[in-house]
Chain A
Amino acid sequence: MEVLKALAIGALFGIGLYQLLRRNIIRSAIGLVILSNAVNLFLLSAGAYDGVVEAYAKATGQRSDALPQALILTAIVISLGGFAFVLSLLYVISARYRTGDSDEVKGLSG
């Protein structure tokens, strides 16, 4: 079962990586989102306990590890902010270069 879970997270990461490397810039942006989802799932797996109960002070039983959850929260917010900025960059680039193809964005070279 752990094998399947790990495979799923790995597959998600691979899909995101493949999307990131595509020519259509919107797909590339979608790849970024999938990648950050995969990384967040990995951080979740870094929790030290197999949680049965939520991380609340009143709960009894094995609580899930609260620290990685706090880290994921922060990471999600950062990726959202970054992603919004990337989209605005893509916006300006597609207006300026009149293309949605990332291979044509090569004004800076040499």
Chain B
Amino acid sequence: MNLAYEAVLRGVDRAARLATRTQGGRIRVYLSVILIALFALVALFGDLQRVLGADALRLDDALDVTGGLRLLGLLLAVAASFVSIVIRRDLLAIIALGSSGLAIAVVIALEPSPDVALVQAVVDVLTTVVLVLALSRLPRAQRLRAEALNNGSSVRHALLAVAGSALVTWICLYAFASRPRPSLVTPYYEQNAKPLTGAADIVGAIVVDFRGFDTLICEITVFSAAGMGVFTLIRHAMRKREAAQLPVEGEVETASHLPILPAHISGVDGVRTSPFIRALAYAALPLAFVLATVQIIYGHDQPGDGFTAGVTLSLGVGFWYVVFGYERTRQRLGLIRPALLIGSSLLLVLGGSTLPLVLGGGFFSPFDFGAALNLPLPKGFYLSTSFLFEVAICLAVLGATMFIVDTLGHPERDLE
């Protein structure tokens, strides 16, 4: 009896060891297994042949100017992304990625969809900036070793990629070919945007009014959380000795043999700045501010909203970092304290949305305070809940982006 018990225990132990061996630790293995399982389930239960056998499909061979431009933009995007695979240097791959994103912004603008195109363009620029920042702070030897890995390829991964693109092509083909379709919700938005919310820009009305709760959670909360996360992770959680071995500002490739320049003509990494670029920076920030203000105030009737305003502002501040260096920018723009911005923006939006509740509407109902109080405001400017919302989004985005850019750019310095 005891022998049987021992045997069972030993069998269990051996099986257990086999089980824990599957957790090998390599993320690429995990991802491959998950993707294979995903495609297997799709193949088994996705009923794919039904999709293209449907009779309501309409394939159009006509090619007008807009359609041709769309195709060109898509081709550019695909080509640029392909370049980012095969090119060896990481910095060039990032630039290829940036161009791909801008081509996609063009495609989106041709949809036609100007709001989203603006957001895509702005986000693409910010992504490129952040990627280059992150890349530049990696130790050089490590970067070169990692670049050497770019030569390898894998048949298994290529097959997975092909399977993925086949699936997506399948769905998109159905999506394009079955237009026009009935939409049950869009006509409501189209008819009621101007009368019920005062906005001519329907997409803006959806984002800020009709589906404002989504925007609260996403554009304010998630984005602020991301900013806080980047700050906390690098600033507090990175140990001193790990931070110590990263290149300090000024140590990057070129700087060691350069003379120390006086403060007013040196920018980031001690590089010498010309009067032209300093003048440009002095012009750029107020311009960014004006652009941001326009986008917030008139976002209701034109492309642009609080999000693009916030990113525009932060790109302007980022430009100042590069031209004037980190320390001097912080001295002159002391008002930008990320945590303060984030907390107050959330409270602004929550407070602004609760007020209509008290005044006879619901939580997150649209309410035009300007009209209610009979304020003499310029044409097109409404002091409403949506305006407060846009301001709050701009503040939150500015705060979070500052968290991200500051921390990634200068991990060794202590901020707040």
Contacts and interface: CB of A to CB of B under 8 A. Distances in A.
User: Do A and B touch each other in the complex, judged by CB within 8 A?
Assistant: yes
A73 B119 contact: yes
- Top 4 nearest A-B pairs (CB, nearest first) are A106-B25, A100-B146, A14-B165, A10-B169
Interface residues of B, number: 126
A52 B65 CA distance: 12
Interface in A34-93: 34, 37-38, 40-42, 44-58, 63-67, 69-70, 72-74, 76-78, 80-85, 87-92
A45 B154 contact: no
A57 B302 CA distance: 11
Interface in A1-31: 1-27, 29-30
Interface stretch (B68-76, B274-282, B329-337): B68-76
A64 B180 CA distance: 11
A99 B139 CA distance: 9
Given A67-B186, A87-B131, A108 B25 contact: yes
Interface string B140-176: 0011011101101010011011101111111111011
20 contacts: A5-B74, A7-B169, A9-B172, A14-B165, A17-B165, A18-B158, A34-B84, A37-B101, A42-B171, A55-B113, A66-B202, A67-B186, A76-B116, A88-B230, A88-B233, A94-B142, A95-B245, A105-B26, A109-B25, A110-B20
Contact of B62 (A1, A7, A19, A56): A1
Nearest to B246: A95
Given A8-B75, A21-B32, A77 B223 contact: yes
| A17, A25, A96: most-surrounded residue (chain B CB, <10 A) | A17
B161 A12 contact: no
A29 B233 contact: no
B211 interface: yes
B169 A84 contact: no
Contacts of B268: none
A109 B23 contact: yes
A56 B131 contact: no
B223 A88 contact: no
A24 to B, nearest CB: 5
A40 to B, nearest CB: 7
Contacts of A106: 24-26
Contacts of A89: 233
Contacts of A96: 242
B176 A110 contact: no
B114 interface: yes
A11 to B, nearest CB: 5
B211 to A, nearest CB: 6
B127 A83 contact: yes
B191 to A, nearest CB: 9
Nearest to B66: A52
Nearest to A30: B97
Nearest to A48: B183
B203 interface: yes
